[in-house]
Structure 1
């Protein structure tokens, strides 16, 4: 079986983990944590970067930082992973789902303004497949209505909008290092803070509501409980694993982009003949090759294609189910029609894409898809 995903190891993960263990500081916010955070701040221009145990945790920190509550509405794309909405729903906010674009799973920016009310507090944008949402339009909306912008950049490491790193444009951003992402730590995440007013409080929330980080820097003589928060920081073992990956970011990205390009060139005849649609990258966005997906013409075709690939030992998968139709959301909300998000729910299929995927395996996958449509 050609798997959908296979985690890539650079070779130094266990070495750095051993170093972390022998350092005597493995509980978090040690040397490897600080190296990783500095890497993100220096390379991508985040004003503050904090490692977290997951992207979900980073999003939950965002909800706490903006004082999200029952009186607030948060606009979230429907076609996304549950964490994009759950982090804010847990704080009691009303989630208002937005539809996707017609030709891309990203949120349709032009439909957002109609969703804004006097209770709207924030817009969550998801850069699907690492491809940027039109952030100029988003930030203009935020300024017009005095809203907070949170970038769910789980899939968007090392990807850009008009030359600006994704995660550096909104007020806050969250990244994932889950084993299916470009850069991995098994589990793991990052909170990026780009608005000065959130920086000092983010460290407090990160450290269980205490000013412990400031104490360790020698800024105060003792630390105490001063705010809400939780244990959001990962162990040094996770950070050590992540550092081995970050050291090889360029190598990993170049290989993934080559795999993405090979898929695109091998399957573009099907796109040109109208049998399926391939991913499109707008002029304002870069491509970090997080995933390669196809858009089939119907749910029946998608199901048949996945089964056909499975019969030839190729593991392809569909992706998100529209959150506006989820069981949890419908407990307290009426079902609404978001046709584009529902369309991607039924028709999008993801192909295997990981560092170790070889040309021979890619040729087999491409040939199998061509044979299916033939």
Structure 2
């Protein structure tokens, strides 16, 4: 079986974990945490970054930082992972779900303005497959209507919008290093802070509501409980693994882009023949080769393709189920129709994609899909 995903080692992951243990400190905010955060601050050009145990934690910190309260509205795309909405629901927000674009699973920027009300506190934009949303349109609306923009860049490391790294354009950004992402450490995340107002408080939330970070920097002579927060810091073991991957980011990305291109070359004929559709990359965006997906004509065809590939020893998967149709959301609000999001829910199929996927395996997968449509 060719798996959908496979974790990998590429450099000094195990050596750095050993080094961390030998140092006598494996709890959070140690040497490797600082190395990772410095790397991101330098390469992303943001004011402050904080490693977290997951992208979900980074989103929860974002909800706290923009001071979401009961009655506030937060606009979120329906076609996304539950964390994009859950982090704000936990603070009491009412979620207003947005549809996807007709040509891409990302949020439809042109429909956003109709969803904004005087209670809109934030908009969460998800850069699906690492492909940028039109951030100029979104930030212009943010200025006009005075709401915060949180970039859910879970899939978007090393991806850009008009030359600017994703996760650095909105007020706050969040990344994931889950084992299915380009850069991995099992579970892990990052909060990027692009607004000075949030820097000091973010460190307090990160350190369980204490001013412990200020104490270690010598800014106060003792620390205590000063705000809300949680234990959002990852272990040094996670940070050590992550830093080894960051050292090899260029190599990882080069290989992933080669895999993506091989898929594209192998399947573009099927798109030309209108058997299926491939993902698009708008001219303002870059491709970080986070995933490769195809869009079938309908759900039955997708399910049959999944079964066909499974019989060939290939593990392919569908992706998100629309949040506005979820059991939880139906308990608290009347579901509405979001035509494009529902199309991706029913027709989008992700193909195996991981660093060690070979050219021969990609060719076998693409030929198997051609066989399916030939039959």
TM-score by length of 2: 0.99
The equivalent residue for 2:313 is 313
The equivalent residue for 2:149 is 149
Give the secondary-structure state (helix, strand or coil) at the position aligned to 2:332: coil
Give the secondary-structure state (helix, strand or coil) at the position aligned to 1:197: helix
Matched, 1:354 2:354: yes
Q: Deviations over 1:299-323 (max 9, x none)?
A: 0100000000000000000000000
Length, aligned pairs only:
374
Aligned mates of 1:7, 1:181 — CA distance in 2: 9
Q: Is the 8 A contact 2:49 2:191 kept in 1?
A: yes
Aligned mates of 1:27, 1:325 — CA distance in 2: 40
The equivalent residue for 2:369 is 369
Q: Is the 8 A contact 1:131 1:156 kept in 2?
A: yes
Q: Is the 8 A contact 1:46 1:167 kept in 2?
A: no
Give the secondary-structure state (helix, strand or coil) at the position aligned to 1:97: strand
Q: Is the 8 A contact 2:139 2:149 kept in 1?
A: yes
Q: Is the 8 A contact 1:28 1:235 kept in 2?
A: yes
The equivalent residue for 1:124 is 124
Give the secondary-structure state (helix, strand or coil) at the position aligned to 1:368: helix
Shift of 1:127: 0.1
Shift of 1:125: 0.1
Q: Deviations over 1:223-261 (max 9, x none)?
A: 011110000000101000000100000000000000000
Matched, 1:221 2:209: no
Aligned mates of 2:215, 2:25 — CA distance in 1: 17
Aligned mates of 1:311, 1:116 — CA distance in 2: 47
Aligned mates of 2:8, 2:153 — CA distance in 1: 21
Matched, 1:302 2:302: yes
The equivalent residue for 2:326 is 326
Aligned mates of 1:29, 1:212 — CA distance in 2: 11
Give the secondary-structure state (helix, strand or coil) at the position aligned to 1:80: coil
Aligned mates of 2:104, 2:352 — CA distance in 1: 20
Shift of 1:103: 1.1
Aligned mates of 2:115, 2:191 — CA distance in 1: 26
Q: Is the 8 A contact 2:11 2:248 kept in 1?
A: no
Residue correspondence of structure 1 range 257-268 to structure 2 within 5 A: 257-268=257-268
The equivalent residue for 2:282 is 282
Matched, 1:343 2:350: no
The equivalent residue for 1:137 is 137
Give the secondary-structure state (helix, strand or coil) at the position aligned to 1:331: helix
Aligned mates of 1:361, 1:187 — CA distance in 2: 27
Aligned mates of 1:258, 1:296 — CA distance in 2: 24
Residue correspondence of structure 1 range 180-259 to structure 2 within 5 A: 180-259=180-259
Aligned mates of 1:154, 1:54 — CA distance in 2: 9
Q: Is the 8 A contact 2:75 2:96 kept in 1?
A: yes
Give the secondary-structure state (helix, strand or coil) at the position aligned to 1:371: helix
The equivalent residue for 1:47 is 47
Aligned mates of 1:261, 1:44 — CA distance in 2: 26
The equivalent residue for 2:2 is 2
Give the secondary-structure state (helix, strand or coil) at the position aligned to 2:151: strand
Structure 2 residue ranges without an equivalent (≥5): none
Aligned mates of 2:167, 2:259 — CA distance in 1: 25
Q: Deviations over 1:262-313 (max 9, x none)?
A: 0001100011111100010000000000000000000010000000000000
Q: Deviations over 1:31-73 (max 9, x none)?
A: 1000000000000112100000000000000011011111200
RMSD over aligned Cα atoms:
0.5
The equivalent residue for 1:67 is 67
Q: Is the 8 A contact 1:204 1:210 kept in 2?
A: yes
Aligned mates of 2:11, 2:281 — CA distance in 1: 33
Shift of 1:11: 3.6
Aligned mates of 2:214, 2:56 — CA distance in 1: 25
Moved over 4 A (4+): none
Aligned mates of 1:204, 1:370 — CA distance in 2: 54
Aligned mates of 1:168, 1:332 — CA distance in 2: 33
Aligned mates of 2:359, 2:36 — CA distance in 1: 32
Q: Is the 8 A contact 2:75 2:123 kept in 1?
A: yes
Matched, 1:96 2:96: yes
Q: Is the 8 A contact 2:51 2:190 kept in 1?
A: yes
